[in-house]
Chains A and B, each alone.
Chain A
Amino acid sequence: MLRSVKGVICQGPKLDSGYFLHASARAWLSAAVNQDVQIPAEKPRTVFRTSESNPANHAEQHEGQHYSIPLQEVKVVFPHGLPCRFQMQMRTFNESCLMVRKPALELLGYLKNTNFAHPAIRYVIYGEKGTGKTMTLCHAVHYCAKQDWLVLHIPDAHLWVKNCRELMQSSYNKERFDQPLEASTWLKNFKTSNDHFLKEIKTQQTYMWSKRESTEKGRPLGEVVEQGLTRVKNASDAVGVVLKELKKQCPLGSFRLLVAVDGINALWGRTTLRKKDKSAVSPEELTLVHNLRKMVVNDWNGGAIVTTLSQTGSLFKPRSAYLPHELLGKEGFDTLDPFIPIQVSNYSQREFESCYQYYLDRKWLQHERASTEEGRKELLFLSNSNPWQMERISAYL
């Protein structure tokens, strides 16, 4: 990419044949100087890293710095939450480092000051594509997990409204459709992250799964989850049961509940699924979506609902749409209203510098020009301080 700058020069019309083209005017002027300019003294390591790994203690002085999460914790807290590119990066660097950014700090501040007697407040994280909404959500999830909340993390709601292989008619309600595969994957991950809670919370009602199987009242919720995992046909209903129970029991105060949904605009959009007779399925007709919608309504207290809008996985939405009004549609907006919007934007100067230093430190930017000032300016321009772009570009170097 940086090397292809010369290729870009050669594309210009070759009117002056025989002139050897240098990459910059300065090189032209000082053609006699053969050595590169010395790299300025390296910044100390602590500028882009912080040793504070508990999100509860993150404050403004940590802004722009990376904090690392021990890999064991990652496996427990984020079985399915992190974006896949970040997971690849984690595997490469053998550590997972999140950047502390202003929107996340704002959100954490609100979460710290939640009044659990009031109905759950909804936070909608929105922003242009690739600015870090999912990562902000993950930061909040990590904080809540550390604070020992029950985290209900749906990694990407879009996965439930598209590309479903098996769509079964729900046994509970003839109108709706079940998605056993998605439900069972989600239940498995939910179990990994909230194992200890599932033992403590008891069901408040009996549930009949079929003629022979049922869960009695007072059994731990873990059994419902097991039922969903073993009997895949009932997985979606199991999910519905879990959600209902949690919603009912949270106001009682024994635990805090965080509902973290990524890509919430999927719940009110369109789906690409079709019924047997080729007519489109609307989101309400899916059990999972129906139950999740009930969860996101703020008629319960004792926790918080943090959601992100996502255009990337969304269906039938133009690429330039990023505002809540555009992505949620009228119905979704009315349901979620009132909410607290949190906007995430591109990196600031400091954050970009920090990200750049981090990649340099991990020796991710291998190109020799990448560590120079010119290379840094080039990266800044090409990515326009957009985190997603920056990550993709650095992957080439």
Chain B
Amino acid sequence: MTLRLIYTTTAVQKRNVAASGPEKYTEAFIKNQIEEFNLGKRHLANMMGEDPETFTQEDIDKAIAYLFPSGLFEKRARPIMKHPTEIFPKQKAIQWGEDHRPFHFLFYTGKQSFYSLMHEIYGKLLDIQKYEDHLRAQSLLAENRKLINLIGSRWLIKEELEEMLVEKLSDHDYSMCIQLLERLVTLPCCGIEEEYVLKFRRELAIQLKKMVIEPLQYDEQGVAFSTGEGKRKTSRATAVIYDNGSGKITVNGVDYLYYFPVMQDREQLMFPFQFLDRLGIHDMICTVSGGGRSSQAGAIRLASARALCSFITENEVEFMRQAGLLTADPRVRERKKPGQEGARRKFTWKKR
């Protein structure tokens, strides 16, 4: 007599979702998505009245922002329409064939692309050395030194290398790779493989977005003046600094001694001038709104520092920047979270 299964729990029948790993997209699926994207792009262009042929990604973004306005603060949560290769994460195609034999010879190392890359780089290194020996034999080594210019660029970071290889790396692997590349670069004739090596270099971002220093403006009497704006928390301030002054400062029409009765705020105002040793030289007229007394003082300080940049040399601007006078304070009031009494403070914990 066979036993017949009458009833089983749902737990047994449920497929184990976590064990199967991240969702795999087939190539056909990706191709489908790309076609749909292109079609959608043309439809969107027609909707917006633009030419479908010259509809760029920027136009798509603007159109989506117009058609689906979103008030969400997190930019990544807003509706987007991008090429499927940017949306779906890069995945490795199935690496074995019908007979379940892997295509790549290094498949069983686990990190096949990484080890193949290492082999490739080492192969190039050996090539360069062979070329070097060849030149040395012909004693043309001295003239044919070709070095790669590495200034202004940096090696790939680990995340970028992982992205390139679509594989997880460990720190040790990454450091090995970079060491090998460094070794390659030290050889005198590495110029042959320059474009290959440059694939692993990224341009360093320009040190800081070069601050535009306004030239001095002159008013009717010929007195030089310059303006600057500053903000701190919720205060916004504008300052106009005149030359040929005697250190008078007017804030919102009132003398600074009466607008800021607290010494701390006046010290904040004094800071840029004292730093540049120009205390009794300039006159200042500023307007400020919003915030409390301390943030208004900070806003005026930033505004006056920015305005002073027009009067001083480049070196002094750099000193001011390093002293922190030209940077806007990014601290703002943190939002109160539900379930807590304040931004960080939790409710009193009761054991029972």
Interface string of B15-29 (1 = CB under 8 A from A): 000000000000000
Residue A93 is within 8 A (CB to CB) of chain B in the complex: no
Give the size of the chain A interface in residues (CB under 8 angstroms): 33
> Which residues, 191 to 242 on A, are CB-close (under 8 Å) to B?
none
Interface string of B135-152 (1 = CB under 8 A from A): 000000000000000000
Residue B223 is within 8 A (CB to CB) of chain A in the complex: no
| Partner-contacting stretch, out of A14-22, A56-64, A110-118 | A14-22
> Which residues, 13 to 38 on A, are CB-close (under 8 Å) to B?
13-16, 19, 21, 23-26, 28-29
Q: How far is the CA of A392 from the CA of B280 in the complex (A)?
A: 21
| Partner-contacting stretch, out of B84-92, B110-118, B263-271 | B263-271
| Partner-contacting stretch, out of A294-302, A324-332, A357-365, A374-382 | A374-382
* Residue numbers in A under 8 Å from B279 (CB-CB): 377-378, 380-381
Chain B min CB distance to A59 (Å): 27
> A378-B274, A380-B280 given as contacts; is B256 within 8 A of A5 (CB)?
no
Residue A8 is within 8 A (CB to CB) of chain B in the complex: yes
Are B325 and A381 touching (Cβ within 8 A)?
no
Are B324 and A320 touching (Cβ within 8 A)?
no
Partner of B327, one of A8, A15, A29, A378: A15
* Residue numbers in A under 8 Å from B324 (CB-CB): 9, 12-16, 21
Q: How far is the CA of A25 from the CA of B247 in the complex (A)?
A: 19
> A384-B255, A386-B257 given as contacts; is B266 within 8 A of A374 (CB)?
no
Chain B min CB distance to A31 (Å): 11
Residue B275 is within 8 A (CB to CB) of chain A in the complex: yes
Partner of A12, one of B258, B273, B276, B325: B325
Nearest neighbor of B279 in chain A, beta-carbon distance = A377
* Residue numbers in A under 8 Å from B275 (CB-CB): 23-25
Are A374 and B329 touching (Cβ within 8 A)?
no
Chain B min CB distance to A327 (Å): 16
* Residue numbers in B under 8 Å from A319 (CB-CB): 258
Partner of A381, one of B273, B316, B320: B273
Are B322 and A378 touching (Cβ within 8 A)?
no
* Residue numbers in A under 8 Å from B266 (CB-CB): 381-382
Chain B min CB distance to A384 (Å): 4
> Which residues, 266 to 296 on B, are CB-close (under 8 Å) to A?
266-268, 270-271, 273-277, 279-280
Are A24 and B267 touching (Cβ within 8 A)?
no
Partner of A128, one of B258, B270, B274: B258
Q: How far is the CA of A23 from the CA of B247 in the complex (A)?
A: 20
Residue A1 is within 8 A (CB to CB) of chain B in the complex: yes
> Which residues, 310 to 341 on B, are CB-close (under 8 Å) to A?
315-316, 319-320, 322-325, 327, 329-331
Chain A min CB distance to B34 (Å): 43
* Residue numbers in A under 8 Å from B315 (CB-CB): 29
Are B327 and A320 touching (Cβ within 8 A)?
no
Are A21 and B323 touching (Cβ within 8 A)?
yes
Q: How far is the CA of A16 from the CA of B319 in the complex (A)?
A: 12
Residue A4 is within 8 A (CB to CB) of chain B in the complex: yes
Residue A168 is within 8 A (CB to CB) of chain B in the complex: no
* Residue numbers in A under 8 Å from B255 (CB-CB): 384
* Residue numbers in B under 8 Å from A382 (CB-CB): 263, 266-267, 270
Interface string of B238-271 (1 = CB under 8 A from A): 0000000001000000111110000100111011
Nearest neighbor of A4 in chain B, beta-carbon distance = B267
Are B267 and A5 touching (Cβ within 8 A)?
yes
Nearest neighbor of A383 in chain B, beta-carbon distance = B257
Nearest neighbor of A25 in chain B, beta-carbon distance = B319
> A378-B274, A382-B266 given as contacts; is B280 within 8 A of A12 (CB)?
no
Residue A394 is within 8 A (CB to CB) of chain B in the complex: no
Residue A393 is within 8 A (CB to CB) of chain B in the complex: yes
* Residue numbers in A under 8 Å from B325 (CB-CB): 12
* Residue numbers in B under 8 Å from A53 (CB-CB): none
Are A24 and B277 touching (Cβ within 8 A)?
yes
Partner of B263, one of A14, A19, A380, A393: A393
Residue A389 is within 8 A (CB to CB) of chain B in the complex: yes
Chain B min CB distance to A323 (Å): 14
Chain A min CB distance to B306 (Å): 14
Chain A min CB distance to B179 (Å): 27
Q: How far is the CA of A384 from the CA of B279 in the complex (A)?
A: 12
Q: Which of B315, B322, B329, B330 has the most CB of A within 10 A?
A: B322
* Residue numbers in A under 8 Å from B258 (CB-CB): 128-129, 319-320
* Residue numbers in A under 8 Å from B331 (CB-CB): 13
A interface, CB within 8 angstroms of B: 1, 4-5, 8-9, 12-16, 19, 21, 23-26, 28-29, 128-129, 319-320, 374, 377-378, 380-384, 386, 389, 393
Give 30 pairs: A residue, B residue, CB < 8 Å, sorted on A: A1-B267, A5-B267, A8-B268, A8-B271, A9-B271, A12-B323, A12-B324, A13-B329, A15-B324, A16-B322, A19-B322, A21-B324, A23-B274, A24-B274, A25-B276, A25-B316, A25-B320, A319-B258, A374-B274, A374-B277, A377-B274, A377-B279, A378-B270, A380-B247, A380-B280, A381-B247, A381-B273, A382-B263, A384-B255, A384-B256
B interface, CB within 8 angstroms of A: 247, 254-258, 263, 266-268, 270-271, 273-277, 279-280, 315-316, 319-320, 322-325, 327, 329-331
Additional A-B contacts beyond A12-B329, A26-B277, A128-B258 (14; CB < 8 A): A8-B268, A9-B271, A13-B330, A15-B327, A23-B274, A25-B319, A25-B320, A377-B274, A378-B270, A378-B274, A380-B279, A381-B273, A381-B279, A393-B263
